[in-house]
Structure 1
Amino acid sequence: MGYKMTKKKSVLIVVLLVLLVLVISFTGCTKLQASPQEEQPPNQQENTDTADEATEEEGTEEKENQEEVDENENTGEKTPVESSNNVIGSKVYISIDKLNVRAEGNGQSKVIGSLVKGKEVQVIEEVTREEATWYKIEFNNSEYNNEGWIFSQHTVSDINDLFSSPKLFDNKEMNDYFTSPTLFDDNTVVAYYGHPNSKIMGIVGRHPKEELISLVQKTSEKYDAINGDKSVIPAIYLVYGTVQPKGEIGIMNFDLVMSYIEEAYNNGVLIYLDHQMGKNAPTDALKELLPFLKYPNVHLALDPEWRTDKPMKEVGHLTGGEINEVQKIMSEYMISNGIQGKRQFVFHQFVDKMIHDIEAVSSNYDPVLPVHNTSGWGSPEGKIATHTRNSKATNIPYKGFKLWYFYSNEPGVHFDNPLMTPEEVLNLDPKPGLIIYQ
């Protein structure tokens, strides 16, 4: 009995020793697996090089520059990066909401402007230092020889990388529809106008985009029922660049623009992007819009009324030569980038002085289709008189016509009284190919 107890104790001790060894081994393995994570340094703050907010106090720029340098110097061990010439001469796209443009290729240099997300720029030089790579780009600033520098980290080489569904626009059937060479011969366009963030600027701002598309489709159906052999295509007309005091321009957020382009594409709806120019040259305003032509349902517009540094105090204008130059740039961009289909270029007029030398405007910048749109609010008689006057410019045969919905009786809110019916609009001479409701 005593022997058996001793033997049992011995066995028990051995078992306990084995268990102890296993526990120690397991603990050691666990600790070894965890140690690389424990030794990893904390995440570094990303160098954004973004533009200052307008509300920041004077002197913030110097503080921002110093903070940016500090970030560059605290990114850990500096490893030289070889510069590649592949990017020189190519186009890149800004990938953050606002990116500073600097006088030189470093974070201490003076900020000479900024670029918004989606902006297309051409790289003319690349400088890679230990802490960062900078691109020298073409930038509209005469003081610095129309050049500037941007931090390359906040650019992409393909604009499709800026949104979540890059294959969305790969629908062949939809693309063939939007880029048909006879699209505007076979169809009348009915568009809803405005800015998503403004109810006063037009109907676009009074409804969510899904509801807006449903509404414009219903209006298009009314026209389609009385449009003879032609069909009707619905469209959304967005004011992409909105004039501000002193002719400054507020640019619509890139992601907001793309959300409308995508939703419209999925529903067979066209998109027009309009730039009011302000104090900017027409060609510079157009270049803000050109990258969006890569989407098959997008068309462009400029509004001469707001081409001024005194908005609401004077009516701006375009010249025939400027309209031709814009068409030329648009045509060359489409051809060089392999953009398919005809694309409309719309400009508005409600008084003669808005277009100087209109007889000089050419309609021969294929594949661009210029659209001479009758704008202005008021009575049917006044609007018809304006359209009749615009019709004398037979060198621009494709005409448009704008109508204004009632929204409010508040001062400064305009509308047509009464609103012309679809039958009355289609009976205009010449019959408009583009009909816009604001």
Structure 2
Amino acid sequence: MELPAWLPSERTVSAFVVLILALTIALLAAGRGDRTLLGAGSNAVPTKSNGQVVAQVEAPRPKLGVAATPEAPAVGGGALLTPAPAIEYATAPLLATPPPDPAYDPMVDGLLPHFRILTYYGHPHDANMGIVGEHAIEDVHRLLIEEAERYEIADPDREVIAAFELIATVAQRVPGADGTYILDTDIKTLTEWVNYAADHDMLVFLDVQIGRGSVAAELEKVRSLLLRPNVHLAIDPEFAVADGQTPGDHIGSVWAESITYAQNELAALVEAHNLPPKVLIVHQFREDMIKEKETLRPVPGVQLVIDADGFGDPDLKTSVYNILVRDEPVEFGGIKLFYRQDKPLMEPSDVVDLNPSPDLVIYQ
């Protein structure tokens, strides 16, 4: 049957369909360009538990104290701030666990990726801030070891080291005497937990929340404890807010150069005091919580872990992990799980099956 002359030819129709498909694909790709994330839910705008919108803070450039340049001494008379070595990103994933090495030396090679670190997070005096504050130290230790055993069953090829992550400087909604919106955990409490951990072959991470202060200033508060071989550092950008902003009302962020500063300070401690390599955790649940993340590089003597933070269901947590850890490799990767808020809670077998398998797992 002959088609009417006014109908377009078959070739014209095909070309039109191809054009429409190409435009659709281009629009979808552009839509994926802004991958602002939420670890706490699937909303496009971060909210608090009462539904109030939480503003996003534009992070100020880091305040590095008097150590802002390589020529100036660090706060407290520490080592000089030196630029991170220019190490190119590998084309293969940097997070993959190599085969066991019989020549492994933790004093030289560090804990990762030979071990997996399993951490319980919180404040010893506050049950609302994580599992650490919900029980006596002996019970926290017992529960942590039980969880570690489940991970060794899920992944028999990787030994687990247990750790406490203690909030050493706590973000507040009031400015305090120094205007930093930070309350320091008493050194006696921190020392008790560090001593207990050392007696039981455990690690301790001291978590600093920054407020309106600086990474340099908060690091100085825990420097003496960082001289202990089993003590490491964690930075929480969520509570690093700009002037005029309040922790908890605004989601904060840090610049990569502040993280590099911490790496260099830890590396200087390691070298000066003949310590095993330090581990530095940086928590993140949105892409914009680490400004200029692409400039981060490994620093000898320090093992940098980007922790995919935030609560949610397993699909959301996997997506956040994929974007912040798998797709933006720096050195090592971690994930935080929430006993109360994650519904359902990911099983150890699900966690170790993430790609790449996490080097660090935190429970809050």
TM-score, normalised with respect to structure 1 = 0.56
Match of 1:340 in 2: 275
Q: Which aligned pairs between 1:152-231 and structure 2 lie closer than 5 A?
A: 179=107, 181-231=109-159
More helix by share: 1
Give the whole-Å Cα distance in 2 for the aligned partners of 1:218 and 1:180.
Answer: 29
The alignment status of 1:236 with 2:236, answered yes or no, reads no
Match of 1:357 in 2: 292
Post-superposition CA distance 1:32-53 (Å, at most 9, x none): xxxxxxxxxxxxxxxxxxxxxx
Match of 1:311 in 2: 247
**Distance apart, 1:335 and its partner CA:** 1.6
More strand by share: 1
- SS of the residue corresponding to residue 109 of structure 2 reads coil
Give the whole-Å Cα distance in 1 for the aligned partners of 2:300 and 2:329.
Answer: 15
The one of 325, 328, 335 equivalent to 2:261 is 325
Q: Which aligned pairs between 1:229-308 and structure 2 lie closer than 5 A?
A: 229-245=157-173, 246=175, 247-308=180-241
Matched residue count: 256
Give the whole-Å Cα distance in 2 for the aligned partners of 1:282 and 1:312.
Answer: 18
- SS of the residue corresponding to residue 234 of structure 1 reads strand
Give the whole-Å Cα distance in 1 for the aligned partners of 2:182 and 2:222.
Answer: 13
TM-score, normalised with respect to structure 2 = 0.67
- SS of the residue corresponding to residue 196 of structure 2 reads helix
Give the whole-Å Cα distance in 2 for the aligned partners of 1:182 and 1:372.
Answer: 16
The answer to whether the Cα contact below 8 Å between 2:311 and 2:342 also exists between their aligned partners in 1 is: yes
* Distance of aligned partners of 1:258 and 1:139 in 2 relative to their CA distance in 1, 3 Å threshold: closer
- SS of the residue corresponding to residue 346 of structure 1 reads strand
Letter of the aligned partner of 1:302 in structure 2?
A: I
Please report the RMSD computed on the Cα atoms of aligned residues, expressed in angstroms.
2.0
The answer to whether the Cα contact below 8 Å between 2:326 and 2:355 also exists between their aligned partners in 1 is: no
* Distance of aligned partners of 1:340 and 1:333 in 2 relative to their CA distance in 1, 3 Å threshold: closer
The answer to whether the Cα contact below 8 Å between 2:308 and 2:325 also exists between their aligned partners in 1 is: no
Give the whole-Å Cα distance in 2 for the aligned partners of 1:371 and 1:191.
Answer: 13
* Distance of aligned partners of 1:235 and 1:395 in 2 relative to their CA distance in 1, 3 Å threshold: same
Give the whole-Å Cα distance in 2 for the aligned partners of 1:279 and 1:334.
Answer: 28
Structure 1: segments with no counterpart, 5+ residues: 1-137, 141-175, 407-414
Q: Which aligned pairs between 1:63-102 and structure 2 lie closer than 5 A?
A: none
* Distance of aligned partners of 1:376 and 1:269 in 2 relative to their CA distance in 1, 3 Å threshold: same
Give the whole-Å Cα distance in 2 for the aligned partners of 1:324 and 1:378.
Answer: 30
- Higher Rg: 1
The answer to whether the Cα contact below 8 Å between 2:278 and 2:301 also exists between their aligned partners in 1 is: yes
Structure 2: segments with no counterpart, 5+ residues: 1-74, 78-103
**Distance apart, 1:403 and its partner CA:** 0.2
Post-superposition CA distance 1:295-318 (Å, at most 9, x none): 111110110000014112111101
Identity of paired residues, percent? 29
**Distance apart, 1:139 and its partner CA:** 7.3
**Distance apart, 1:185 and its partner CA:** 2.6
The one of 319, 336, 342 equivalent to 1:385 is 319
- SS of the residue corresponding to residue 284 of structure 1 reads helix
Give the whole-Å Cα distance in 1 for the aligned partners of 2:336 and 2:240.
Answer: 19
Give the whole-Å Cα distance in 2 for the aligned partners of 1:231 and 1:380.
Answer: 24
Match of 1:61 in 2: none
